[in-house]
Amino acid sequence: RSKTIHKNLNPVWDEKVSLLVESLREPLYVKVFDYDFGLQDDFMGSAYLYLESLETLDVTLDLKDPHYPNHDLGSLELAVTLIPKEGDFREHQSLRLSDVHRKAQLWRGIVSISLIEARDLQPMDANGLSDPYVKFRMGHQKYKSKTIPKTLTPQWREQFDFHLYDEQGGFIDVTIWDKDAGKKDDFMGRCQVDLSVLSKECTHRLDLPLEEGEGTLVLLVTLTASAAVSIADLSVNVLDDPHERKEILHRYNLLRSFHNIKDVGMVQVKVIRAEGLMAADVTGKSDPFCVVELSNDRLQTHTVYKNLNPEWNKVFTFNVKDIHSVLEVTVYDEDRDRSADFLGKVAIPLLNIQNGERKAYALKSKELTGPTKGVIFLEIDVIYNIVKAGMRTLIPIEQKYIEDEPRVSKQLLLHNFNRVRRCIMFLVNAGCYINSCFEWESPQRSICAFLLFVVVVWNFELYMVPLVLLMLLAWNYVLIASGKDTRQGDVVTVEDLLEDEEEDFDRDDKDSERKGFMNKLYAIQDVCISVQNALDEVASYGERIKNTFNWTVPFLSWLTIVALCATTLVVYFIPLRYIVLAWGVNKFTKKLRDPYSIDNNELLDFLSRVPSDVQMVGIPYYIHPYCQLLQHCN
């Protein structure tokens, strides 16, 4: 495998490799791929080099696609030399390929880009404004900023980090687009950042004029030295060296908490071996390799061919920028002329790692909802500074590279709907419980709640809010420490998800195909109707509040003025503690004073009289407030 040449249709590799040839009758097979982050590499063509008929040193191979042999995919130029076999070349070959593979993965530094603002952009919409967002691209690394609506001078204030693979620098392509709903986004201009002219370890402010457009883009660019990233064999282990381990522990001790805040810690991952992998090839074997990812950092092992129990024995070292990151280890099967096949995956939060523990992890599916075949043996060590980790928790999380657009999924839609419904039902149940105290359904509970309310309101101080939350955390910690873990009832386990899938599968087997399809259609319809009604309810209340203040119904607006004036006077002359106390006493004694009273919320009752925008269509609600007042007076 050669190194990757970024952004080029005429790449020059200039690499040399020695291969052991068992027979001249067996041709050399060459494949070319387009590297894409996320392992969705695109096949660009292949060719056979027939060694028996080799006559010249310089060879030009025409690349072809076996499925479309008439397509012209370009050519590949090789300089080939055949020499007699003398000794064993296998060790030399594996070392050289391993070295090339390692250099193609490791980055030499980090480029931090702060997207500040743009000025004097070109208007792209009919209202004379635009909805701009920015795309960054450097090789396979891509980012997309948020969209700032209706402006020609957007302020983004976002930061993105790129890996710098070329020591000489490189170029970052920047494009600005106008977001359009329902149609293709409009191109607004482009510019380019030349990293080779920027000095390292300092921040550069760049005011870049846009080409093919109007305006200026303002960026802050910082180049820093290489992060602590490495690939080594198992025998070369940094943390096993007492001197190296002592230096690393010193780098992240508490006394250096305010030195290089971004350097939170380091993690070392030993990828030892896998057992019992899935057979992905027709031969009953696989060609597995392993990919280790931490946020946007991604490294991979070599491929072990035709093996279901591969041994990699590699050590990966990453720089930890966020202790809340999740380490993902994925096993793939390398395929000829296709992107790699997924074999299994594990995800391990850094905070859950036990240092130095060699453990077998069961491989799971892509969504981590169920097991797949095989286990992988890992040994992980995490060293970090707890103060830096706490400080980094309070800043925005690192954005992931741009990924594929999400697809519509019935299961995901139903699952997310049920998650939201559980949260809402928790709030509804809490409200019902509080309301039951007002209704005196249980006299003992209502008396205790009333006394507690009076005591808390009378003695309330602002410091009690964080104190109550602190007590809640302490109480749950005591329950967990004593073995009474209350979290299990609130978490949907993998077994529950698999059980639901099995029930759906069994149900589909029992029912006819048409009935199963109709059931799914009705389930989606129910979710859509519920979401539609909830959105309508939220939108209606928002529009009613707006229409209250823009005099859509002047009578209600005048009523609001009277209520707000009265509220202002009451709050100005009466302490808030007494107002809350009076409200609570009224709510608790209302049922005792009038057992047959109907529950109501005065504010919601008022808003229900204000029309929403939908209700106003075709209804002439608006009358000049002064004219309507005269009508009432007359």
Q: Is the Cβ–Cβ distance between 57 and 28 less than 8 Å?
A: no
Of 33, 53, 85, the one marking the end of a domain is 85
Model pLDDT, residue 37: 65
- Put the strands of the sheet holding 141-144 in their side by side order: 141-144, 132-138, 171-178, 186-194
Task: Write out pLDDT tens, residues 595-634.
Answer: 766 667 788 888 888 888 877 765 555 545 554 444 555 5
Q: Which of 104-108, 286-290, 454-458, 474-478 has the lowest mean pLDDT?
A: 104-108
Same domain flag for 529 and 574: yes
Q: How far is CA 378 from its chain centroid?
A: 25
83's tokens: 């020499």
Q: Give the Cα-Cα-Cα angle 289, 291, 292 (nearest 5 degrees).
A: 145
Give the three-class secondary structure for 142: strand
Model pLDDT, residue 383: 92
Helices (H) and strands (E) in the chain, counts: 13, 21
Task: Write out pLDDT tens, residues 427-453.
Answer: 888 888 888 888 888 889 899 999 999
Model pLDDT, residue 83: 75
Closest CA to 356 of 235, 233, 239: 239
Same domain flag for 241 and 372: yes
Answer yes or no: is pLDDT of 47 > 50.
yes
Task: Write out pLDDT tens, residues 171-209.
Answer: 899 999 999 887 888 999 999 998 888 887 778 889 999
Give the three-class secondary structure for 573: helix
pLDDT category at 501 given cuts 50, 70, 90 is: very low
Other beta carbons within 10 Å of 28: 15
306 within a domain of the structure (yes/no): yes
Q: Which of 119-128, 501-510, 532-541 has the lowest mean pLDDT?
A: 501-510
Q: What is the arithmetic mean of pLDDT over 15-26?
A: 78
503 within a domain of the structure (yes/no): no
The amino acid that residue 45 corresponds to is: G
Distance (Å, rounded) from C-alpha 572 to C-alpha 566?
10
Same domain flag for 81 and 189: no
Model pLDDT, residue 619: 58
109's tokens: 């530094």
CA-to-CA separations, 594 to 277, 307, 453, 583, 587, in angstroms, rounded: 72, 80, 21, 16, 11
Model pLDDT, residue 611: 85
Percent of the chain with pLDDT over 90: 20
Q: Is the Cβ–Cβ distance between 327 and 292 less than 8 Å?
A: yes
Distance (Å, rounded) from C-alpha 239 to C-alpha 107?
21
DSSP state, 620?
A: -
The amino acid that residue 14 corresponds to is: D
Same domain flag for 77 and 206: no
Distance (Å, rounded) from C-alpha 503 to C-alpha 411?
13
Helices 410-439, 513-549: crossing angle, 10 deg rounding? 50
596's tokens: 């047959």
How much is the mean pLDDT over the chain?
80
- Rounded to 5 degrees, φ, ψ at 55 are -115, -35
350 within a domain of the structure (yes/no): yes
Model pLDDT, residue 367: 83
Distance (Å, rounded) from C-alpha 229 to C-alpha 320?
10
pLDDT category at 521 given cuts 50, 70, 90 is: low
Same domain flag for 28 and 151: no
Model pLDDT, residue 419: 79
Q: What is the arithmetic mean of pLDDT over 487-514?
A: 46
Of 353, 368, 393, the one marking the end of a domain is 393
Alpha-carbon dihedral sign for residues 270, 271, 274, 278: positive
CATH number at residue 207: 2.60.40.150
Q: Which of 13-22, 222-231, 317-326, 506-515 has the lowest mean pLDDT?
A: 506-515
Domain ranges, residue 42 = 1-85
Same domain flag for 255 and 364: yes
Q: What is the SS3 assignment for 98-138?
A: HHHHHHHHCCCEEEEEEEEEEECCCCCCCCCCCCEEEEEEE
Same domain flag for 524 and 544: yes
Model pLDDT, residue 225: 66
Answer yes or no: is pLDDT of 132 > 60.
yes
100 within a domain of the structure (yes/no): no
Same domain flag for 220 and 236: no
Question: Given 3-state DSSP classes, what are the helix, strand and coil percentages for the chain, each rounded to the nearest 5?
Answer: 35, 25, 40
Distance (Å, rounded) from C-alpha 234 to C-alpha 312?
9
257 within a domain of the structure (yes/no): yes
Same domain flag for 264 and 353: yes
505's tokens: 């599968």
User: Comparing 398 with 402, which gets the higher pLDDT?
Assistant: 398
Model pLDDT, residue 111: 86
Distance (Å, rounded) from C-alpha 65 to C-alpha 47?
9
Answer yes or no: is pLDDT of 142 > 80.
yes
Give the three-class secondary structure for 249: helix
pTM over 0.85: no
Reported as type and span, the H/E element at residue 438 is: helix 410-439
Of 224, 246, 281, the one marking the end of a domain is 224
Q: Is the Cβ–Cβ distance between 217 and 154 less than 8 Å?
A: no
- End-to-end Cα spacing for the chain: 92
pLDDT category at 492 given cuts 50, 70, 90 is: very low
Instruction: Say how many domains are in the chain.
Output: 4
404 within a domain of the structure (yes/no): no
Model pLDDT, residue 346: 94
570 within a domain of the structure (yes/no): yes
CA-to-CA separations, 171 to 108, 160, 192, in angstroms, rounded: 15, 15, 7
Same domain flag for 213 and 237: no
Same domain flag for 354 and 469: no
Helices 410-439, 576-593: crossing angle, 10 deg rounding? 80
626 within a domain of the structure (yes/no): no
Rg (CA), the chain: 33
Same domain flag for 29 and 125: no
Answer yes or no: is pLDDT of 274 > 90.
yes
Answer yes or no: is pLDDT of 44 > 70.
yes
Model pLDDT, residue 376: 94
Q: What is the arithmetic mean of pLDDT over 34-60?
A: 77
